[in-house]
């Protein structure tokens, strides 16, 4: 089985792929709050950044043969652990209660720029 390397824009990174597909499993690199067309980071409070990341994740998954219900594992990385409750309040709005993925959450971590959250996932194809 050969791996497939996917980039969500023409702006390829030479240090990581946005998605690596192995069979029907998709490994998505960490996403921060950004404009998907320009890759410019979008800053705001934790609710705004969580919503932006999860909305972008939905688009990326759907454009690559998956969806939010096919996420099997999600890693949430928070710059500030104190933001966890507000992040969770927004996070739960994006998942069907019968398809909640396994999750790990890290806090008090240095993230790029002024980003407050980064999310990486493992998903399967639909």
Q: What is the pLDDT along the chain (126 residues), one digit of tens a residue?
A: 789 888 887 766 678 889 999 999 999 999 999 999 888 999 999 999 999 999 999 999 999 999 999 999 999 999 999 999 999 999 999 999 999 999 999 999 999 889 999 999 999 999
In this prediction, residue 12 carries a pLDDT of: 66
Domains: count for the chain:
1
Report yes or no on 16 lying in a domain.
no
pLDDT reported for residue 112: 87
Predicted local confidence at residue 69, as pLDDT: 97
Please check whether residue 96 lies inside any domain of the structure: yes
Q: Is residue 75 part of a domain?
A: yes
In angstroms, the CA 6 to CA 17 distance is: 6
Q: What is the pLDDT of residue 37?
A: 87
* Residue 20 falls inside a structural domain: no
- Relative to beta strand 117-124, strand 25-31 is antiparallel
Burial class (CB in 10 A: 0-12, 13-18, 19+), 48: middle
Please report how the helices 84-91 and 46-63 are oriented relative to each other, as an axis angle in degrees rounded to 10: 40
pLDDT score for 51: 98
Q: Is residue 77 helix, strand or coil?
A: strand
Q: Is 18 within a domain?
A: no
Determine, yes or no, domain membership for 82. yes
Q: Residue 119 has which token pair?
A: 């999310």
Does a structural domain hold residue 2? no
The boundaries of the domain holding residue 67 are 28-124
- Residue 48 located in a structural domain: yes
Please state the pTM of the whole predicted model.
0.93
pLDDT in the model for residue 15 = 80
Cα 10 to chain center, whole Å? 19
Phi, psi of 59 (to 5 degrees): -60, -50
Residue 81: give its domain's CATH number.
Answer: 3.30.1330.40
């Amino acid at each position: 089985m050969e791996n497939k390397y996917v980039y969500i824009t023409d702006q390829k990174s030479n240090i990581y792929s946005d998605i690596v597909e192995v069979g029907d499993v998709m490994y998505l690199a960490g996403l921060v709050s950004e404009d998907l067309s320009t890759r410019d980071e979008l800053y705001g409070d934790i609710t705004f950044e969580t919503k932006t990341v999860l909305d972008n994740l939905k688009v990326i998954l759907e454009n690559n043969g998956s969806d939010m219900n096919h996420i099997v594992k999600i890693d949430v990385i928070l710059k500030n652990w104190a933001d966890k409750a507000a992040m969770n309040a927004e996070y739960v709005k994006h998942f069907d209660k019968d398809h909640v993925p396994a999750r790990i959450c890290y806090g008090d971590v240095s993230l790029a720029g002024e980003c407050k959250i980064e999310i990486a996932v493992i998903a399967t194809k639909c």
